[in-house]
Amino acid sequence: MKPLFLIFTVLSLSCLRNTASAQTFKLAVDRKLYDTDKNVINAHGAGILFHNGTYYLFGEIKKGSTWLVPGQSWEDYRVPAGGISCYASKDLLHWHNEGIALKPSIGMPGSDIDTGNVIERPKVIYNKKTGKFVMWMHIDAKDYSYSQSGVAVSDNPAGPYHYISSVKPNGQMARYMTT
């Protein structure tokens, strides 16, 4: 979880305008980050959206038993894809759990967002023209042979998001992305 905090710190500190808040936040990052219900924030590969005075943190839900994907030439450790979580904050210090923004499919191996597949690194943007929130994410097979960009939409920044489909932009692999 430490890489999450490093990325989260860089993104969050660049958004802060108040130096006192930035210093307080920097000190808090060296420890586990808890939501307002005192639960550890579960948002791996996180992305942040700032909309109408609120920060929204989206990340992969990681829980369950870790397993090694068989047949790989590299250490491909996985947990079942748990969907995408959402947390909201006015100050980047106090995070309220908004719940699951994008629920995974269960027992549907043909679905991009099945728990046996990969759902990673969500990023959300607001499309002013359509009035929709658009979530982009890395979608992959459990052995990382699929490599697509997935897209989901919602009327509300916290969700729920409706999964649309996945694509290979310009016919190319899509793993790490930004919006």
In a domain, 14, yes or no: no
For residue 59, being part of any structural domain is answered with yes
pLDDT at residue 173 in the model: 86
pLDDT digits (tens, 9 = 90+) for 106-165: 999 899 999 999 999 999 999 999 999 999 999 999 888 899 999 999 999 999 999 999
123: in domain = yes
* Confidence grade of residue 67 (pLDDT, cut at 50, 70, 90): confident
Q: What is the reported pTM? A: 0.82
Residue span of the structural domain in which 90 resides:
33-171
- Residue 21 maps to a domain: no
Model confidence at 178, pLDDT cuts 50, 70, 90, reads low
**SS3 sequence of the chain:** CHHHHHHHHHHHHHHCCCHHHHHHHHHHHCCCCEECCCCECCCEEEEEEEECCEEEEEEEEECCCCEECCCCCCCCEECCEEEEEEEEECCCCCEEEEEEEECCECCCCCCCCECCCEEEEEEEEEECCCCEEEEEEEEECCCCCCCEEEEEEECCCCCCCEEEEEECHHHCCCCCCCC
User: Can you tell me the distance from the alpha carbon of 88 to that of 41, in angstroms, rounded to the nearest whole number?
Assistant: 11
Give the CATH number, domain containing residue 65: 2.115.10.20
* pLDDT score at 1: 47
Give a yes or no: residue 69 inside a domain.
yes
Mean pLDDT of the chain: 86
Give residue 104's identity as a one-letter amino acid code.
Answer: P
Residue 174, pLDDT score: 85
The residue type found at 173 is M
> Is residue 25 domain-resident?
no
At residue 8, the pLDDT reads: 52
pLDDT, tens only, 13-40 = 455 555 445 555 554 555 788 999 999 9
Question: Is pLDDT of 2 > 80?
Answer: no
73 inside domain: yes
* Residue 4 belongs to some domain of the structure: no
pLDDT digits (tens, 9 = 90+) for 76-85: 888 889 999 9
Q: What value does the mean pLDDT take over residues 50-67?
A: 94
The total number of structural domains in the chain stands at 1
